[in-house]
Amino acid sequence: MSNPETLILKEAADLHRFLQPIAKMCAIARTDHPYYRDASYILFTYLSGLINKTREYLEDLPQRPGKSPVIQHSIRQKLKLLRDSWGLLHRYIKPCLDADTLHIPIPLLDVLNDRLKLIPECEAFECAVFQLTAANYAMLPYYEVNSVANGIARRVNGEDFPRSLSLVGIPYSQSSGFFLNCLIPHEMAHFVYQEIMVTEVTNAVDSILNTHYPNAQDASDEFLETLSQIRGLINLWVEEIFCDLFAIALIGPAFSFAFAEMTSASLIIDTLSGNAKQSFEFGQSHPADVARFYLHKRHLDALGWWNQIKDWRSNSVDLLDHCCLVFGKTTLSNKIPPDVASQLKLQCFWDACDWLLGYVKRTVPASDKDIKHLADHYDVISKYLERAIVPSTIITESGPVYPTPVVLINSAFRFVLQDFDNLLKRVDMEPMNPVRERSWYTERLELWVLKALEDYRLLSASQEAK
């Protein structure tokens, strides 16, 4: 049997060696030509510091083992916890490193972070991005990174994970994309919700539940357990709606259109199809898509966007209108336990959303100027796009204009949904394959808009300097 002290030293050295290459990977400081956004540098700097503290802790162990089997066992347990915790963080470090400036849509992320900082109490928030193998968007829950890192910090006397930093995952395939990446604000909103809004919203949900279940305090333990599950479901659904409404306030109807693309929601208005059944079902973590689009339209209407977009010639606009007619047909998924489903009053959700619409409108400011400027400038922007010109500066009757990011984002969606054929008609050659050609030029359109978003920050900064 190995000497216990030697075994401790070996296990400490193994973990020390495991952390060495991670430390080198995180030691990135290219200020002359940055590879990453500031938020990513904040993350890597934090991880470098935490690794250094862990290594100092490990290097100090030869002074600690002693002869007591109890102490030796305790140290080995701590080493295992550290190893396991770094193993959990390990899965996210490489995806974050892979999300360098060549592999994430930097101009869009800069715009979204700028918009995020305009929200009260969000001035210090930063969003770092990592790549997902799944074709999905996600914000890492607090316990998956923050609490693991904080657990390490407590053991090695390191600093806590930055409270203002969130990690959002995007599909690795969308590194240069624009349209689908307009789903990112929804994931940012989860961070805002959990850090700022959760108490006020859940208190409102509790009040609504108390109205619908007035005698719950006198009910059986079995019913109280069922009611607890109902509360959990409604809170999950309401959080998702909050994030949708937040994203709409941030970037306008572009979020709804991106969500429609991601979910293939056009089937909802195809009355001949039976494939849209799932879109009408409230699931274990997400509300029905039909309910979401119905609430999107209500929020767009309240913010003043709907009058701007209602006449667009687009299936996505028709979808929002249609869901207002059929939202009452939503049901509960059969994956929800029968005892919960039988007691769940869906009206609680709708009442909570009535309150939530007003709450988000009050707390997450949207720009009336962007709505007006989209109406004023879209015709000119579309002429630029159909001629393959980046619309960073457009020439109007009143002179040169720098379209704002929200105007550019929503103009791009209107163009691809309604006027894209104008671009294709200007292509001289006859398309060999209509699908391939449309895909190729849509990709070009994404690049033009991302370039315009990048130019806006430079042009507006230059204008402010004057």
Residue 63, exposed/middle/buried by CB under 10 A (0-12, 13-18, 19+)?
exposed
For range 235-242, the mean pLDDT: 98
Looking at residue 91, its pLDDT comes to 84
DSSP-assigned states of every residue in 141-167: PGGGTHHHHHHHHHHHT-PPPPTTEEE
Q: Which has the minimum average pLDDT: 29-43, 179-193, 207-221?
A: 29-43
Q: Do 196 and 166 form a contact (C-beta atoms < 8 A)?
A: no
pTM of the model: 0.88
Give the tokens for residue 54: 């862990």
Q: Do 417 and 407 form a contact (C-beta atoms < 8 A)?
A: no
Convert the pLDDT of each residue in 42-78 to its tens digit. 888 899 999 999 998 888 876 665 667 777 778 888 8
Domain coordinates in residue numbering, the chain:
4-178, 197-363, 369-465
Convert the pLDDT of each residue in 389-421 to its tens digit. 999 999 998 899 999 999 999 999 999 999 998
Say how far apart CA 300 and CA 288 lie, in whole Å: 18
Nearest to 317 by CA among 309, 325, 328, 308: 309
Q: How far apart are the first and last CA of the chain?
A: 76
Considering the chain, what is the average pLDDT of its residues?
87
Convert the pLDDT of each residue in 331-380 to its tens digit. 999 999 999 999 999 999 999 999 999 999 999 988 889 999 999 999 99
Convert the pLDDT of each residue in 272-327 to its tens digit. 555 578 899 999 999 999 999 999 999 999 999 999 999 999 999 999 999 999 99
**Per-residue pLDDT band at 465 (split at 50, 70, 90):** very low
Say how far apart CA 59 and CA 108 lie, in whole Å: 43
